[in-house]
Amino acid sequence: MRRRLVYFFIIFFSVTALSFAEEKVLFFDDFSKSEISRDWRCMRMEFKAEDGRLNVVSKPRQGFNYGHRGNGRSAAVFTHIGDTNWKDYRIELDIFGGGAGEFNPHGISDCMRGSFSIYFRTINYPENWNAPSRISYAFGVNPIPQYCEGKPSPEWGLSRINGWYASNPVGWCGGIAKNYFIPENRLSPTVTSNVDALWEHLVALGYLSENGNILDKVAYLKDSSEMHLDSRYSQDESSIYFILKKNYCKKSGDQKTLVKGKGNPWKADAVNHIKIEVIGRNIKIWVNGQFVIDYVDTDRDALLFGGFGVVWEWDNTGWISNVVVTALNP
């Protein structure tokens, strides 16, 4: 009997030790210190560690060309980008997404508050959205349908981003509006008095889409003489060429939605607890204890290592706390 008990305890403690050996804390931060750890890379906006949280401060990071026509929007904080030792792991954190603060250069309304994305297996994420290139999974919530459109719940989704960036030196690939031509002093009254006619002409020649996206044909123009504009625009040819070239932008890379859903695991205007587990190609995600995603990425572009981060969309603020990253099957 005594021998059986000895065997039992040997087996019990061996199994227990093995289960503990399978998990190891890779990263932890409760933001109890006022100084932000050097492990974090804070991007685009200022951050402050206070009251056990890492808070987005509503002002751009000093020295960064912030804005839609600059090198990027959206506060972001990341750790261990591209770390090949971060393969199979679990992320747990508390997160809050708020609205814009005093710094709101693009005038977003309060109904656009609360949108954020959690990036994981992040191989690359440049601060400048005009620099190559984002490579990561991202799990995000978009509350706009709920807040702005009166629908009962937000949208959420899991995406894989492979090599995405906006290719021009500055600005977002958002195209231009018709009134963009009006304030240009170099344009003659022929243009400024009838922008619609110029717009239709540029669309017909394949330089613009109807909604103002500057098309790839512009990229192949070597000088203004190759535009072959109607004779009525001959004196404006170089200026029109300059405007199109300056604003041409191509989104490179791919962003593929893997899982998309609607539902309400999210707490509106409150703290949410997120847990993400990645083992091999399998991704599991919980929101406030509710199991929402179990996805296996069988694609050849599946991402198998890398760090993680959080992005608060547009000019919104928010915070994170109680961040724990645990290795699984080290």
Exposure class string for 252-290: b at 16+ Cβ within 10 A, else e: eeeeeebeeeeeebbeeeeebebbbbbeeeebbbbbeee
Query: Where do we find the tokens 């400024």?
Result: 192
pLDDT tens-digit profile of 282-326?
Answer: 999 999 999 999 999 999 999 999 999 999 999 999 999 999 999
Give the whole-angstrom CA distance, residue 274 versus residue 266.
10
26 close to 327: Cβ distance less than 8 angstroms = yes
Task: Compute, in degrees rounded to 10, the torsion defined by CA atoms 17, 20, 25, 26.
Answer: 80
147 close to 111: Cβ distance less than 8 angstroms = yes
Per-residue pLDDT of the chain (330 residues; tens, 9 = 90+): 555 544 444 444 444 444 444 689 999 999 999 999 999 999 999 999 999 999 999 999 999 999 988 999 999 999 999 999 999 999 999 999 999 999 999 999 999 999 999 999 999 999 999 999 999 999 999 998 888 998 888 899 999 999 999 888 888 887 888 888 887 778 999 999 999 999 999 999 999 999 898 998 998 999 999 999 999 999 999 999 999 988 888 888 888 999 998 877 888 899 999 999 999 999 999 999 999 999 999 999 999 999 999 999 999 999 999 999 999 985
Contacts of 10 (CB under 8 A, 6+ apart): none
Query: Which fold would CATH assign to domain 25-168+254-328?
Result: Jelly Rolls (2.60.120)
Domains of the chain, residue spans: 25-168+254-328, 178-247
The model scores a pTM over 0.85: no
Candidates 79, 44, 38, 117; CA nearest to 306 is 79
pLDDT tens-digit profile of 246-289?
Answer: 888 888 888 899 999 887 788 889 999 999 999 999 999 999 99
Helix axes of 195-204 and 237-247: crossing angle, nearest 10 degrees: 70
**Which pLDDT does position 250 carry in this prediction?**
83
